[in-house]
């Protein structure tokens, strides 16, 4: 990589208190991340923070943020991006929940007076693509699909999303599914029975509103596609414990990153990458 990395990415040490959150953490993943960081004594990847006017909004890394905070840290390393840039794309993760029956979802809706209707998957997907206040839920067998109606009140809508997520977050295992995966492919290749939750697609304006008002999207629904995402930058956790002279810490951090670039220890990949977590 050429040594003009300001054109490619911006890395900084930031105060946790200066960053606004937009999504909740996920208990199982958070515990795993916490254990990994506390054992390694390093934070291995920067969180992603979007700059929007004078706000710094956490876009990706809520579990790392929460883990670092739980370890008594006041600082964190972050990659800062321009949230207004067209290169920063907001997509959605769908959730493929294993062993959950669609009937349980229906019963939850009935108990909580959330309306739903039976619908063909293709028809429901068209409605969801044009209207925010819905969730499409289908079984992997392809025998039943429902369209759930969410409140038009934004705050209540978020509460309903969170309540639906609680149906399975700690009770069932699930995978995140990219929105571009076709339902026919998913049904063909999935090796377990379950249901797919197709979530509404948030807009950037929603994320800014949520962060500014201290609200939360359930964990693992918003999917930010980051241009030139930086990985494998290690930073000692003990140096994140106290703020100290933040300007000097950032100068030292910048010097360290520059040295790695000069030593040809940085590579840029333009192709898509598949990563296996430990």
Same domain, 155 and 233: no
Same domain, 128 and 161: yes
Same domain, 100 and 167: yes
Distance CA 144, CA 30 (A): 33
Residue 44 resides in a domain: yes
Residue 156 resides in a domain: yes
Same domain, 70 and 96: no
Same domain, 62 and 124: no
Same domain, 72 and 167: no
Question: 0.85 cut: is pTM over it?
Answer: yes
Domain count, the chain: 2
Domain that holds residue 70: 5-88+226-262
pLDDT at 262: 83
pLDDT at 201: 96
Same domain, 44 and 128: no
Same domain, 132 and 192: yes
Residue 98 resides in a domain: yes
Domain end position, chosen among 146, 181, 199: 199
Residue 18 resides in a domain: yes
Mean pLDDT by 10 residues, the chain (278 residues): 66 98 90 91 94 96 95 97 96 96 97 97 96 96 95 97 94 92 88 94 97 96 94 93 95 92 82 76
Same domain, 110 and 178: yes
Same domain, 165 and 237: no
Same domain, 100 and 194: yes
Same domain, 41 and 122: no
pLDDT at 278: 57
């Amino acid at each position: 990589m050429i040594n003009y990395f300001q054109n490619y990415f911006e890395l900084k040490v930031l105060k946790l208190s200066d960053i606004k959150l937009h999504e909740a953490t996920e208990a199982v993943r958070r515990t795993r991340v916490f254990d990994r960081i506390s054992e390694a004594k390093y934070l291995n990847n920067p969180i992603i923070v979007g700059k929007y006017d004078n706000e710094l909004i956490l876009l990706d890394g809520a579990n790392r943020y929460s883990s670092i905070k739980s370890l008594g840290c006041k600082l964190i390393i972050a990659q800062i991006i321009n949230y207004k840039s067209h290169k920063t794309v907001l997509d959605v993760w769908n959730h493929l929940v294993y062993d959950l029956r669609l009937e349980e979802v229906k019963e939850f809706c009935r108990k909580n007076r959330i309306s739903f209707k039976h619908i063909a998957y293709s028809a429901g997907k068209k409605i969801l693509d044009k209207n925010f206040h819905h969730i499409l839920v289908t079984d992997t067998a392809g025998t039943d699909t429902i369209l759930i109606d969410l409140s038009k009140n934004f705050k209540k809508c978020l509460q309903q999303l969170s309540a639906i997520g609680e149906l399975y977050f700690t009770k069932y295992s699930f995978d995140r599914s990219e929105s571009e995966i076709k339902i026919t492919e998913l049904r063909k290749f999935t090796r377990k029975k379950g249901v797919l939750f197709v979530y509404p697609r948030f807009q950037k304006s929603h994320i800014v509103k949520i962060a500014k008002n201290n609200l939360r999207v359930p964990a693992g629904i918003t999917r930010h596609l980051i241009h030139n995402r930086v990985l494998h930058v290690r930073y000692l956790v003990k140096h994140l414990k106290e703020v100290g002279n933040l300007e000097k810490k950032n100068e030292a951090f910048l010097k360290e990153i520059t040295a790695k670039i000069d030593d040809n220890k940085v590579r840029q990949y333009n192709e898509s990458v598949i990563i296996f977590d430990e």
